[in-house]
Amino acid sequence: MTSYLSNLEKITTDKYLKQGYLIEDIKDIKSFKKIDRYLKNQILRSYPDINDNYENSEIFDNLHKHVKIKSLNDLRIKLIKSLFTKKEIKKAYYALSKEILNQIVGNELAMQKRLNLSIQLPNDKSSLLSVHADTWSGDSPYEVVVWLPLVNCYDSKSMFILSPDKTKKLYQKKLSKISKGSNKTLFSKIKKDLNFINIKRGQFLIFNQNLPHGNIVNKTKFTRVSMNCRFKSIFSPYFKKELGEFFEPVSLRAASIDGMKFNLPKI
Q: Residue 180's pLDDT band (boundaries 50, 70, 90)?
A: confident
Give residue 182's pLDDT: 87
Residue type, position 165, single letter: D
Check: CB of residue 89 under 8 Å from CB of residue 34. Answer: yes
Burial 53-87 (b: 16+ CB within 10 A, else e): ebeebebbbbbbebbeeeebeebbeebeebbeeee
Q: Which residues pair with 194 in a beta bridge?
A: 162
Q: Residue 53's pLDDT band (boundaries 50, 70, 90)?
A: confident
Give residue 175's pLDDT: 82
- Cα separation, 96 vs 115, whole angstroms: 14
CA angle 92, 95, 98 (to 5 degrees): 150
Give residue 181's pLDDT: 78
Per-residue pLDDT tens over the stretch 85-128:
899 999 999 999 999 999 999 999 999 999 999 999 999 998 89
Give residue 101's pLDDT: 98
Residue 2 has pLDDT above 80, yes or no: no
Q: Residue 83's pLDDT band (boundaries 50, 70, 90)?
A: very high
Give residue 211's pLDDT: 97
Q: What is the mean pLDDT of the chain?
A: 94
Q: What is the pTM of this model?
A: 0.94
